[in-house]
Amino acid sequence: MTTRSPLDLPHRLAPSAHMANSKPSETPDTLHRRGLMFVLSSPSGTGKTTIARRLLAEDDAIGMSVSVTTRPPRPGEVDGQDYHFTDEAGFDAMVEAGEFLEWAEVFGHSYGTPKAQIKAGLKDGQDFLFDIDWQGTQQLYQRMEVDVVRVFLLPPSIAALEHRLAARGTDSADVIAGRMSRARSEISHWDGYDYVIVNDDIDACFEKVRTILDAERMNRARQTGLVDFVRELMR
């Protein structure tokens, strides 16, 4: 699922370089801004992992939020990269200690977003990509409202969804049946998102996701370096 830890990202927008002294020679693209939390949700099999991987590969300024889970690793998954894998007791201890921004039970396992790395990264201008379900999205939005951008992907049809799950080849027939039986209830949460995209053609869908991310980065409230920049312009 995920390929990179946010902690590995280059600090292209580090505050020391961009926040305090906005020189006239700087372009608005290099000004400091607060990072954002970019949530991609979809019924399982719609394509969010495919889109997420491409975004991480093509955009250095966004990194994956690595969740903690009690689900056992799938073949090829790496601890600390795809997830932080733990057991029930370890997960419960983190809940007790208030270390999650949100957490939920999905398919019989617990999943949660660790708080510390996200809060520090946002201040530094890092964007985080979240592959979380609708419950997590709701909690995240309640806690971090203005930082959260919510994108929901829909399949073009139920038949296409089933075909994609089978073609992916990662799940048994039983697991696929379980994901299909949950699909309609997951789809019903589409109206809890800011943006909704039908993932029919993968390239077109990816471009739409990029367009949303680019536009949200220009949101005035996030561009914290603008105040000094504009003051300098007006001097």
Which spans of this chain sit near ligand ADP (rule: CB under 6 A)?
42, 44-50, 164, 167-168, 199, 201-202, 205
| Residue with smaller CB distance to ligand 5GP, 22 or 44 | 44
Least Cβ distance, residue 104 to ligand 5GP (angstroms):
4
Distances (CA, A) of 139 to 14, 61, 145, 147: 28, 24, 9, 13
Site for ligand 5GP in 129-168 (CB under 6 A): 131-133, 135-136
Task: Choose the one of ligand ADP, ligand 5GP, none that binds residue 202, judging by a C-beta under 5 to 8 angstroms depending on kind.
Answer: ligand ADP
Q: What's the N-to-C CA distance of the chain in angstroms? A: 49
50 counts as binding ligand 5GP under rule CB under 6 A: no
| Cα radius of gyration (the chain) | 19
Q: How many CA atoms lie within 13 A of 145 on its CB side?
A: 1
Least Cβ distance, residue 142 to ligand 5GP (angstroms):
13
127 counts as binding ligand 5GP under rule CB under 6 A: no
5 counts as binding ligand 5GP under rule CB under 6 A: no
Least Cβ distance, residue 206 to ligand ADP (angstroms):
9
Q: How far apart are CA 15 and CA 123, in angstroms?
A: 8
Quick one: DSSP state of residue 177?
Answer: H
118 counts as binding ligand 5GP under rule CB under 6 A: no
Residue 87: Cβ within 10 Å count: 11
Q: How far apart are CA 99 and CA 96, in angstroms?
A: 8
| Residue with smaller CB distance to ligand ADP, 149 or 205 | 205
Question: Which residue from 80, 119, 85 is spatially nearest to 100, judged by alpha carbons?
Answer: 119
Task: Choose the one of ligand 5GP, ligand ADP, none that binds residue 81, judging by a C-beta under 5 to 8 angstroms depending on kind.
Answer: none
Q: How far apart are CA 112 and CA 101, in angstroms?
A: 7
Q: How far apart are CA 141 and CA 132, in angstroms?
A: 12
| Residue with smaller CB distance to ligand 5GP, 111 or 128 | 111
Least Cβ distance, residue 111 to ligand 5GP (angstroms):
3
- The site for ligand 5GP (CB under 6 A) is made up of 1, 44, 67, 71, 102, 104, 106-107, 111-113, 131-133, 135-136
